[in-house]
Structure 1
Amino acid sequence: MSRVTQLRSERAQLVASIQVLAKVEAEGGSLSAEQLTQFTELEAKVNDLTAQISRAEAAERMAAASAVPVSESAQGINSPPVHISGPFNEATKPGVAMAQMVRLLVQAQGNQQAAAEMAKTGGYGADVHMALSTVTPSSGGVLVPENFSTSVIESLRPKSVIRNMGAVSLPLNNGNLTMPRVIGNTQVSYIGTEEDISVTDMEFGDLKLSSKKAAAIVPISNDLLAYAGVNPRIDGQVSNDLAVSMGLSEDLHFIRSAGGGSLPKGLRYWAPAGNVLPAPAGATLAIVDLYLGGMMLRLETANVDLTACGWIMAPRTLRWLQSLRDGNGNKAYPEIDLGLLKGYKVALTTQIPTNLGAGGNESEIYFVNFADCYIGEDTNLAIAISTEASYKDAGGNTVSAFQRDQTLIRVISKHDFGPRHVESVSVGTGITWGAGM
């Protein structure tokens, strides 16, 4: 905000106070001695601010009149400005520093030292220069510094349904994390006179999380990556592409991975057998509502805290529920427009398939206490870059990065996933609602 604008704002506030006092007399009243004194003081302040505004405006006019354009070409500088500023400091946004690091490594063709020098002389932040000067090579790439990794996780949160719904992120110390849990509570009973107190024990179990390697390949246009200088819009786009690809990969495994070996176990396979409910025959409002209530009941009867519960489902299922009407033609679940279903948060994700079952048209619904779900994370994040490798797109087609003029960025993270109490997960299977949409 300029000095002139600030002074004008202050004067407007004082004038508003004066008008309040003047309105008293305009309506036939009279000002008290205290109000008269206040009026005089406000009037003096307004006059003083008016004089200050006049001087500040004069100073701005003189500065504008004496300004001359800077001819960079006279110094042999003909390229676009190295630093392009935006309306706000985008470099502070999560993931942007890592995006800048990635772009510099691409421009330097993977040469870490050259990228560090480019960061130093190109107007990039000291954190980016320091990171490129100290990162450790790993698997043909580099290890991202821990502060950058944390930033990436924050930018990943809104892109990952599981994270966004409230799953708790915890560090994996030395690649492992063990959390004790109570699986059988003590029983307290009433006794009569001179009766022995019964002995009861608590049963304990463990949630053990161990580091699993997750990888995502992100193809990005070379035109985008090679953009000269620090540009918030370009870095934001690169950061967003990285976060989206990693978020989709996480959700795919955290929701439906069978686990075992190198894979984390997803919600579908953490849910106990009694909490997996096949869809009922028929799709009337009464049947659907009773079925959804049954999924909630599984958690309620297990004394699960429902405060942080929520629904996740495929877009097809959510849109069908959104269009469901009662006998009067009213929306059965109007709250879906507000992101709720039966009073709880609801989110959609394409990582829940719609081609399950013998007919290839079934999907699933999940009702979960997400505050009871934990993501154990290794803070190390590794990136590798290639302009020549190939990859398979969403349709399974092999694409040459060289032919498409793209750079492939491979991001590897290590984490594991699981609920502290398996009773916190219920799954609806065989869902064909909306299959004909």
Structure 2
Amino acid sequence: IRSNAYGADQTILNDATTAMALAMDRAAFLGKGTEFEPMGLFNMDIPMVELNAAPNEGTTGKLLAKLLQNNADTSKLGWAINGFAWEAFYNVVQAASGLYLYRDQMDAGKLNGHEFAVSNQIPVSAASGRPTDIVLGNWSEFMIGRQGSMESEMFREGTITDENGETVSAVDQDCTILRIIDLHDFGVRHEESFVIGKGLKTGA
């Protein structure tokens, strides 16, 4: 930053805001509802379907059926999957024809007729079969509350506590502290508008 001839401070700020967006994404799925993070979708009382198998021709129908049984609005559905689930669905072969079942749709951004988004903030287990979870729901019912706008400040003085619990002084270490504050909350209007598929197996 001291030898800033190419916008280093802006580059660092861009990296930090990207990290902030990823943290929001993670909290939206996995947040514990503590003082420092809102309740995420996976920790709400969302209906679930136990899959415990690799995707096949009936997997997507199981999740859609759960939404229909709960009288959910299915006119604006979308999927949230991670890259491992994407690979598993992309390689599903239809038994009758021997052709890939979802590839053409997924190349066009849809899975079983509904748009999908890939987020690797959804974890995958290292256990046998690399199980993970997937979400199908009406995302217009997922609410994001934001208070104010993102605030960023740089300090040449002050201290922080690093990931090892040690105190780092900006003065002693000749460094600059970047602080970003952004206040959010999450919620769903109707928990029945979503369904989580548990234990989708994505590998050997």
Q: Same fold (TM over 0.5)?
A: yes
Deviations 1:34-65 (A, max 9, x none): xxxxxxxxxxxxxxxxxxxxxxxxxxxxxxxx
The offset of 1:410, in angstroms, is 2.3
Report the AA paired with residue 377 of structure 1: R
Q: Which residue, out of 88, 93, 113, partners 1:343?
A: 113
Alpha carbons of structure 1 residues 406 and 428: separation in structure 2 relative to 1, 3 Å: farther
Q: Superposed, which structure 2 residues align to 1:277-292 within 5 Å?
A: 277-281=49-53, 283=54, 288-292=56-60
Residue of 365, 379, 383 corresponding to 2:148: 379
Q: Which residue of 1 aligns with 2:5?
A: 227
Aligned length: 197
Identity of aligned residues (%): 24
Secondary structure (helix, strand or coil) at the match of 2:99 reads coil
For the 8 Å contact 1:253–1:266, the answer to whether it is kept is: yes
Counterpart secondary structure, 2:100:
coil
- Alpha-carbon separation, structure 2, partners of 1:261 and 1:241: 25
CA distance in structure 2 between the partners assigned to 1:361 and 1:296 by the alignment: 23
**Residue number in structure 2 paired with 1:110:** none
Counterpart selection for 1:355 from 122, 125, 136:
125
- Deviation string, structure 1 residues 326-349 (Cα, Å, up to 9, x no partner): 244422102111111011111111
Q: CA deviation at 1:263?
A: 2.7
Does 1 or 2 have the higher relative contact order (CA < 8 Å, sep 6+)? Answer: 2
The equivalent of 1:263 in structure 2 is: 37
Alpha-carbon distance between aligned partners in 1 of 2:39 and 2:105, rounded to the nearest angstrom: 32
Matches within 5 A, 1:207-246: 222=1, 226-227=4-5, 235=10, 237-238=11-12, 240-246=14-20
| Distance of 1:291 and 1:426 partners within structure 2 | 13
Q: Which residue of 2 aligns with 1:429?
A: 198
Q: In the alignment, is residue 420 of structure 1 matched against residue 194 of structure 2?
A: no
Q: Report the CA distance between 1:407 and its aligned residue.
A: 4.5
> In structure 2, do the counterparts of structure 1 residues 355 and 414 end up closer, same or farther at CA, with 3 Å as the change threshold?
same
Cα root mean square deviation, aligned:
3.3
Unaligned runs of 5+ in 1: 1-221
Cα distance, 1:390 vs structure 2:
6.8
SS for the counterpart of 1:383 is: strand
What is the CA–CA distance in structure 1 between the aligned matches of 2:128 and 2:99, rounded to whole Å?
32
Asked if the contact 2:79–2:116 (Cα under 8 Å) also holds between the matched residues in 1, the reply is yes
- 1:271 Cα deviation after fit: 3.7
Residue number in structure 2 paired with 1:325: 93
Work out whether residues 52 and 131 of structure 2, in 8 Å CA contact, stay in contact via their aligned partners in 1. Answer: no
Deviations 1:276-318 (A, max 9, x none): 111144x3x6xx2322211112222333222332111111110
Match of 2:61 in 1: 293
Q: Distance in 1 between matches of 2:153 and 2:32?
A: 28
Q: Which has the higher helix share?
A: 1
Offset of residue 241 of structure 1: 1.9
Would you say the 8 A contact 2:133–2:200 is kept in 1?
A: yes
Q: Does 1:253 align with 2:27?
A: yes
Paired residues of 1:391 and 1:401 also in contact (CA < 8 A): no
Instruction: Give every structure 1 segment of 4 or more consecutive aligned residues whose post-TM-superposition deviation is greater than 6 Å.
Output: none
Show CA shifts across 1:382-423 (max 9, x none): 32435675744xxx8x9x898x99744221111210101111
Alignment of 1:25-424 (within 5 A): 222=1, 226-227=4-5, 235=10, 237-238=11-12, 240-272=14-46, 275-281=47-53, 283=54, 288-327=56-95, 328-333=97-102, 334-355=104-125, 361-386=130-155, 391-392=162-163, 407-424=176-193
Q: How does the TM-score come out when normalised to structure 2? A: 0.79
- The answer as to whether partners of 1:315 and 1:349 remain within 8 angstroms in 2 is yes
CA offsets per residue over residues 259-279 of structure 1, 9 Å max, x none? Answer: 24443111112243xx21111
Task: State TM-score, norm by structure 1.
Answer: 0.40
- Kindly name which structure, 1 or 2, has the bigger radius of gyration based on alpha carbons: 1
Secondary structure of the corresponding residue to residue 297 of structure 1 = helix
> Deviation at 1:374?
0.6
Q: Which has a greater percent of strand?
A: 2
